[in-house]
Amino acid sequence: MDKKQLLTEYERLRNELLSKQNISTGKEPVNLEKELEIAQKQVETIVNKLGITPTHLTVLDIGSGTGHKAIALAHHFKHAYGIETEKTEHEMALVKKKYFDQENTTFLNCPNEKIELPDASIDAALSMTVLEHVNNVKQSIEEIKRVLKTNGTFYLACPSYNWIYETHYHYYMLPLLPKFLFKIIAKLKGDDPKFINHINYVTPRRVRKLLLKNGFRIERDFSLETLHALLVKRKGTAPAHYRALAIPLRILQITRIGTLTYYFMKATGFYPAIELIAKK
């Protein structure tokens, strides 16, 4: 297929996916170059955080979706693998690979709990807003450990459900709100509650416990580093998921009780997002 034919095939698959999700098709034209440009900016930020030289390394994008992040990662790493459970998204990734002629990428259609890669075959693994959707959080982390080489790097980012805001439905709600109440709220707001069944209530404490139990050592916790800068050192800019708390954070800084607040949030895991780097 030439590029025009690949673009047509990608659009067909996209509309098929949107139809499955009960979303109106054809709202915006496909722009694969723009998708890749956005992914490249995100990936550059993450690669800088990893603190490794990736040129001769392999990387695994967990929950790779339609493949844009894996293709962007392939510009930095020797080889990029992407795993995706959803068949149509996997097929879209394969089309995108051909469109960009990105030979140093491999896309696999397999569950996160059973990654189709050999033991100790990957240098770095990335999981971005995926862990809250896997079928089994414990098994997923065990599989990541299995495929990582010794001293391999694991970058994890996901929302925390020990917080007052839910990022998929964009609701303010009590931390770890029972799902039957969550579903009632969704219905009352006119939203489809079915997606709630695909959400795992991951929390900083739970994630840390699973990582340590599987022999990982946590090297950096960017969420705590951000909180420390804002509340203890009283400097820096709050990231997007903290901006709703801009005024309370400013009050804490002015009244100089930010340090106590920081240690409370650290001890309880009461903060909005999990973002860390762990080593096998």
Question: What pTM value is reported for the model?
Answer: 0.92
Residue 44 located in a structural domain: yes
CATH of the domain at 108: 3.40.50.150
* Phi, psi for 197 (deg, rounded to 5): -65, -20
**Residue 257 lies inside a defined structural domain of this protein:** no
Please say if the pLDDT value at position 256 is more than 90.
Answer: no
CA 146, CA 115: separation in Å to the nearest integer?
A: 9
Tell me the residue range of the domain where 139 lies.
34-221+273-279
Q: Do the domain assignments include residue 73?
A: yes
For residue 141, being part of any structural domain is answered with yes
Round the average pLDDT of the chain to a whole number and report it: 91
Asked whether residue 42 is domain-assigned, the answer is yes
Does 250 have pLDDT greater than 90? no
| 9: in domain | no
Mean pLDDT, range 163-171, rounded to an integer: 91
Predicted confidence at residue 88, as pLDDT, reads 95
Structural domains of the chain, count: 1
Residue 46 domain flag? yes
Residue 253 lies in a domain: no
Q: Kindly write down the DSSP assignment for every residue of 178-192, as one continuous string.
A: -HHHHHHHHHHTT--
Task: pLDDT band for 27, please (50, 70, 90 cuts).
Answer: low
For residue 26, pLDDT over 60 is answered with: no
pLDDT confidence tier of residue 181, bands split at 50, 70 and 90: very high
